[in-house]
Amino acid sequence: MEKHRKVIFITGASSGIGRETALTLAKKGYRVFAGIRKKIDKTELENLNSNITGVYVDITSESSVDKAFWFVYKNTEKIDVLINNAGIAVAGPIECLTVQQLKEQFDVNTFGAINVMQKFLPLLDNAKIINISSMAATGIFPFVAPYCASKSALDILFNSFGIENKSNIKVISVRPAVIKTPIWNKSVKRARNNFEEYNETAKEKYTKELLYLEKNALKNNDSGIDVKKVVETILKIINSKNPKPVYTVGAQAFFAEIISKMPKCFINYIIKNRIGNI
């Protein structure tokens, strides 16, 4: 009889952390259901490794998540590990962003992951849910507050679910530092589009900060940590009997955790001064 192969469902497998995780787990012999949104990504992943099955899913759409669930349900009896990885980054000054732009951030990073967890529950008995959160969940970074808030809310909601659930599901949050993936270029594109919607006064007020933010994001695109570091942590969690509730990846993420425990007035003072000097 064939030994039970661990079954993984990962969202956002078309690029970055998700793609590398899907390919690494598949190479190790896991059965991977990889969430993608485009046919070209499904074909590419499936051609790279026969342990991968692409699953169309837009996590912000209940009907899409529903269809994805029934597809996976017909192909496996259980999922051992659900990895909520799909995400986007919305940045900008809070006074300028529309509520719609803020909602878009939460729709993907927070409610999307909840959508998937709730729909896939029948397959998740005794499973692990690994959420790719971020060091941003510490909430200490201005101008990327929508992203910080979405990850913080994700962690809070899922931490509670980890305690409440009656299906013996363990919840683990992975909080990486800056990782070299396409998310940075995408966030610059999104921030530029959002900027076009600001009124002229707001544009003038925040030009300096937004240029700095953009320069930083483009730099992160090249200087971030290798995506393999996140995959190593995911593997460690999958293989651990008793994983911790939170894992940081990278020194920056470790220090962000420590700094975030300091008095708020102190953290804000330092950060505001730093912004004043850009």
Ligand X SMILES: NC(=O)c1ccc[n+]([C@@H]2O[C@H](COP(=O)([O-])OP(=O)(O)OC[C@H]3O[C@@H](n4cnc5c(N)ncnc54)[C@H](OP(=O)(O)O)[C@@H]3O)[C@@H](O)[C@H]2O)c1
Q: Which positions are annotated as active-site residues? A: 147
Distance between first and last Cα of the chain? 64
Three-state secondary-structure class, residue 178: coil
CA distance 57 to 83: 13
What is the smallest separation between the CB atom of 230 and ligand X, expressed in angstroms? 7
Per-residue contact track with ligand X, 2 to 31, x per CB under 6 A?
---------xx-xxxxx-------------
Among 5, 67, 186, 205, binds ligand X (CB under 6 A): 186
The region of 2-10, 56-64, 66-74, 211-219 touching ligand X under the rule CB under 6 A is 56-64
Taking CB under 6 A as the criterion, which residues in 116-155 touch ligand X? 132, 134
CA distance 109 to 133: 9
Q: How far is CA 152 from CA 7, 131, 169, in A?
A: 28, 11, 20
DSSP string covering 136-175, please?
Answer: GGG---TT-HHHHHHHHHHHHHHHHHHHH-SS--EEEEEE
Does 32 interact with ligand X (rule: CB under 6 A)?
Answer: no
Residues 6 or more apart whose Cβ sits within 8 Å of residue 7 = 30, 31, 33, 76, 78, 79, 80, 81
- Taking the least distance from each CB to ligand X, the nearer of 5 and 229 is 229
CA distance 117 to 158: 9
Per-residue contact track with ligand X, 68 to 107, x per CB under 6 A?
-----------------xxxx-------------------
- Taking the least distance from each CB to ligand X, the nearer of 187 and 198 is 187
CA distance 86 to 277: 34
Closest CA to 275 of 212, 224, 215, 214: 212
What is the smallest separation between the CB atom of 73 and ligand X, expressed in angstroms? 19
- Taking the least distance from each CB to ligand X, the nearer of 10 and 97 is 10
Question: What one-letter code names the amino acid at 64?
Answer: S
Place of tokens 């485009």: 38
What is the smallest separation between the CB atom of 193 and ligand X, expressed in angstroms? 15
The region of 73-81, 92-100, 171-179, 234-242 touching ligand X under the rule CB under 6 A is 171-179
Does 183 interact with ligand X (rule: CB under 6 A)?
Answer: yes
- Taking the least distance from each CB to ligand X, the nearer of 17 and 23 is 17
Among 54, 92, 146, 224, binds ligand X (CB under 6 A): 224
The region of 53-61, 162-170, 196-204, 240-248 touching ligand X under the rule CB under 6 A is 53-61
Does 179 interact with ligand X (rule: CB under 6 A)?
Answer: yes
- DSSP 8-state symbol, 85: -
**Residues of the shown chain interacting with ligand X in the complex, contacts defined by CB under 6 A:** 11-12, 14-18, 35, 37-38, 57-60, 85-88, 108, 112, 132, 134, 176, 178-179, 181-183, 186, 224
